[in-house]
Chain A
Amino acid sequence: MTSRILRIVGLVTLAAVGAASVAAVALLRDRVAITIARAPSSGARGPDPLALLAEDLRESREEFRAFAEGTAERLDALGALLERECAAERDALREEIAALRVAVATPPLEGSPRESHAVSPETRPSAPASRRFLSFRLPSGGFDFDRPSRFLVVESLSRVGFDAKSTLHDFSGATTGVRGEFSSRLSHPSEVAHGEIVVDAAALQTGLDARDEEMRALLDVGAHPTLRFEWTAFDTDAVDAAARTVRGTAKGRLSIRGIAREIALPVRISVDESRRIAVEGEAEIRLTDFGIPVPSKLGMIAMQDRVKIWVALRARCAGPAGETAAKGSGG
């Protein structure tokens, strides 16, 4: 029933819409005019495709030019880099060839009346600039007064000792049993000044066996076999670089019989003919400052408390200050 009613309503609605449309066309037919006009002029239309194409072409050309310029710069830089690397490699090769030429056999002596043999120096390839002396390759620098250097005491050419005064007579005690090392920049000795000198206490000799025996007992060499001077500072009085001499005061701690005291030791430093340095100096100490009883016999024969200690060292440069080198120089 319901569907029949809806179908009827639908048909009625369609008929009404159709009637209304026919009526509207009838009413508006004379009021509507359709005009077809010509297109407006070209200036009012969109951009010219040819112009756009030309613009694109111009922009592309500029981009290409910029790319080409950038690439050229990069290629130039790359070329320069490669050239530098090649030059460095070439120089390294030249140096290597030169070193090899030096290392290989030297031609036989010209005009030698005897059979010649090849000279084959076995040297370290990393050696610095060198010169020939007796056919050995030596570094060209020689003794460097200005370089901070480490010095080894040449034991066979060094001696330390003391001068004492007594009621009977004055005497010295001395020994060559001294070793040690120190660092210094001789041209500016206050800048680099440290090291240690060690003396074999039992090796001190005064020339009298009985006195030596008593001295060893007083120094208690069994418990304290060495006397030590730890060098910690240097006060410069004068430096003569041309004459290779230095005057000043070495400061540090002197240890005797296990007791350490600060001392100041005025010294003179020079360079000998074999390019070793010679250090000579002296200072006064008091035996009692180090806990050493002043020797006395029967209260009548006595030593003085004040004793002059002295050093006469020879030392050889054994490398830059702060570096380690083989110990024990040949003198």
Chain B
Amino acid sequence: MDRRAALLLALAAGGCIAPSVLEADRRAVHEAALPSGWRPALPADLEGIYESIRVEGEAGASLWRIEYQFSGDGGYTAAALVFDGTRPAFQTLSGAWTLSDGIVRLSEEEAVRASVCEGHLRLEGEGGTVVLRRMALP
């Protein structure tokens, strides 16, 4: 009698409990989706503290993490965890920035495209693309 009841229960439950197999293409952990609707950055957009959430392109092999602090007076400071092929080490920078036509200049010889969207800053250069998220003042 118990077995018959269990069988009925199993059949009934089988109809109720949906399979919960993770599809093969959903096994990998994906990074959070980026917002859409990017626009060229204006000088007023840049002031603040940012941390990288994604580094794409060849720079991604060596640039593990990066943080910027852009001041309204045109100064900036930054730190990056750079892997030189042997071990990671921090580099720090401080300097001046200018921004016009969506191009930010962080040093005399380098200009990168800057765009913003919903608290995010995207910097695109020859070596790759870095997406940063605005951080709250600690």
Contacts and interface: CB of A to CB of B under 8 A. Distances in A.
Interface of A: 106-124, 127-128, 131-139, 141-144, 156-159, 161, 163, 167-172, 174, 176, 206-207, 273-276, 278, 280, 282, 297-301, 310, 312, 314, 316-320, 323, 325-326, 329-330
B33 to A, nearest CB: 14
Interface string B22-66: 101001110100000000000000000000001111111111111
Given A133-B125, A161-B27, A274 B60 contact: yes
A310 B24 contact: yes
A47 B130 CA distance: 100
Q: Most chain-A Cβ atoms within 10 A of its Cβ — which of B56, B82, B92, B123? A: B82
B69 to A, nearest CB: 12
A158 B55 CA distance: 18
Nearest to A313: B28
B103 interface: no
Interface residues of B, number: 66
13 contacts: A133-B128, A134-B125, A142-B61, A142-B62, A158-B29, A273-B60, A276-B60, A298-B3, A300-B7, A310-B27, A316-B64, A317-B61, A325-B88
B1 to A, nearest CB: 12
Contacts of B6: 297-298, 300-301
A171 B92 contact: no
A176 B28 CA distance: 10
Given A138-B59, A273-B60, A159 B29 contact: yes
B108 interface: yes
Given A109-B105, A112-B98, A115-B74, A136 B93 contact: yes
Given A133-B128, A207-B20, A174 B93 contact: no
B60 to A, nearest CB: 4
A134 B56 CA distance: 13
Give the residue among A143, A144, A163 with the most B Cβ atoms within 10 A: A163
A172 B20 contact: yes
Tell me which of B19, B29, B78, B87 has the highest count of chain A C-beta atoms within 10 A of its own C-beta: B29
B7 A137 contact: no
Nearest to A127: B84
Contacts, number: 207
5 tightest A-B CB contacts, nearest first: A114-B74, A133-B127, A142-B58, A275-B61, A274-B60
Given A127-B84, A168-B14, A174-B27, A121 B93 contact: yes
A136 B107 contact: no
Nearest to A164: B21
Interface in B82-138: 82-96, 98, 105-110, 112, 123, 125-128, 130
Contact of A325 (B55, B80, B87, B127): B87
Given A319-B86, A329-B64, A170 B27 contact: no
A93 to B, nearest CB: 23
